Amino acid sequence: MEQLSNKGFKSMAIILIATNTLVYISSSLYAPFLGAYYTERGVTASEIGILMAIGPLIAILIQPLWAGLSDRTGRRKDVLSLIILGCAISINSYYLGNNFFGYFIATILFTIFSTSMVPLSDAILVDLSEKIKFKFSYVRLGGTLGYALTVYIAGRVLKYYPSALFAMASISYLIMMFVVRRLPSKERENSLGGSGQKPLDIEEVEEARHEKRTKRERSRIFMNNDIVFVLLFAFVTHLGLYFGIGFMGVYLIELGYDQSIIGMLNTISALSEVPILLCIHKLIKRFGTMRIIAFSGIMAGVRILLISGGSLPTIIISQMLQSVTYMTTYYCSVTYINQNVEPMHRSKGQGILTITQAGLGSIMGMILGGRVIEAIGMRQSYIVVGCVIVGVSFVTILIYIIYNKLRSRNLINEMENIK
């Protein structure tokens, strides 16, 4: 199959970057400011923890349905478009209530759609990037830069108009849907070479091959068992990060800062991802996925401990560690799964990652975090959680080392038996 023309390649690359950029621009308009928004309206820390945990719970229950629909029909672009439209409409439900119960209902409505956006868009964009031989790190860089610029501007605006966050996000989602409709359909995905002949339907070939396999093989999602440790490392890291980032807005309000400072800190956080995205392929090649995400888990604990300092300089340093905590874990996990999942289950594979880190990790980080904060205070909670994440990361690393040694020993024994 021939490659895209130079013009076609550039056009496709721009659409991929624009799509990912708008995914994170939309998120930047509300997510970093929700905790502070709730606090200013009298919602308690434990109630904020519950509200923040609704999304991950919905992800566990609903995300597999969206992923299954996407994989089963093969119409990933249409499913993603439906999700985006749902986000644009449902996010405005936050205006219907001004108390915990109102926010509770609004969060349920919104997260039915929003929790599936990143995994489904990742499944599409990673796959298309590989097909046109364009590095996904460059696609993701668009999201990082878009987030960094938008969250800074949003912080300035929300300082004076705090309720505008939902309306701005709604408009951004509508723009995103327009861009997503420019992505290739299933038929065009399989003919990106533009040879002029009838395109080879790759998915049909894969489906025919799968029909010849056993039922057990067809139901298998991942190609190897190492994925268990990828998910485990991702869970530990995100448990800490969702607590640290989720309550940081609340903490900053408690310290006397406003929305503009929250926007500035999130801009610093996003910009720190740029150098990592520019060299992530070299890092993976040199150190490997497991070492990078294991290191990320330890640094996530360090990042939380820095926030506990309570001063702006230490919090700024903690935000700069976004590069070696969130981004390294996210990128390594997403690309590893895409490379080690059965082709017909790509959406499900990314969905399992989302359920693990943005689902289970977030639920524990937010609900338990809210309880701990009310019991021992904000600063002490950051110290405790930071130490726990560092400790659990080291234990997870130890388990993986033992697992690898046992696997190597079994492999040697098998080779000796063959001889």
Q: What share of the chain is helix, strand, coil (3-state, %, to 5)?
A: 85, 0, 15
Domain with 68, as residue range(s), is: 9-182+220-414
- Mean pLDDT in residue range 12-38: 90
The answer to whether residue 1 is domain-embedded is: no
pLDDT of res. 168: 94
Residue 1 pLDDT class (50, 70, 90 cuts):
very low
| pLDDT per position as a tens digit, 257-307 | 887 888 889 899 989 989 998 998 899 999 988 899 999 999 999 999 999
SS (H, E, C) 367-400: HHHHHHHHHHCHHHHHHHHHHHHHHHHHHHHHHH
| 289 is a domain residue | yes
Residues 229, 340: contact at Cβ < 8 Å?
no
Where residue 33 falls among pLDDT bands split at 50, 70, 90?
confident
pLDDT tens digit sequence for 363-373: 777 777 778 88
Query: Do the domain assignments include residue 196?
Result: no
Per the structure, the count of domains in the chain is 1
322 domain residue, yes or no = yes
Tokens of 96: 């219907």
Confidence category of residue 415, pLDDT binned at 50, 70, 90? low
pLDDT at position 56, please? 75
Write the pLDDT tens digit of every residue in 162-213. Answer: 888 899 999 999 999 999 998 887 645 555 554 444 444 444 445 544 454 4
3-state secondary structure (DSSP) of residue 98: coil
Q: What are phi and psi of 103, to 5 degrees?
A: -65, -30
pLDDT above 90 coverage of the chain, percent = 30
Rounded distance, CA 59 to CA 53, Å? 10
Position 218 scores a pLDDT of 52
Overall average pLDDT of the 234-249 stretch: 83
Q: Give the whole-angstrom CA distance, residue 120 versus residue 76.
A: 8
**Residue 114 backbone phi and psi in degrees, to 5:** -65, -35
> Which pLDDT score, from 0 to 100, does residue 221 have?
67
Span 66-87, mean pLDDT?
A: 87
Is 404 inside any structural domain? yes
pLDDT at 313: 92
Write down the pTM of the prediction: 0.70
CA 206 to mean position of chain CA atoms? 28
The tens digit of pLDDT for each residue in 375-384 reads 888 899 999 9
| Segment 102-129 mean pLDDT | 89
- Residue scoring higher pLDDT (256 or 45): 256
- Interatomic CA distance for residues 416 and 223, integer angstroms: 26
For 161-247, where are the alpha helices, taking DSSP H only?
Answer: 165-180, 186-189, 202-211, 215-219, 227-246
Most confident segment among 145-149, 237-241, 352-356: 145-149
Q: Is residue 206 part of a domain?
A: no
- Give percent above pLDDT 70 in the chain: 86
CA torsion sign for 332, 18, 24, 154 is: positive
User: What is the 8-class DSSP label of residue 3?
Assistant: P
How many C-beta neighbours within 10 Å does residue 179 have? 18
pLDDT in the model for residue 245: 79
3-12, 44-53, 318-327, 397-406: segment of lowest average pLDDT: 3-12
Flag whether 209 is in a domain: no
CATH value at residue 323: 1.20.1250.20
Residue 197 lies in a domain: no
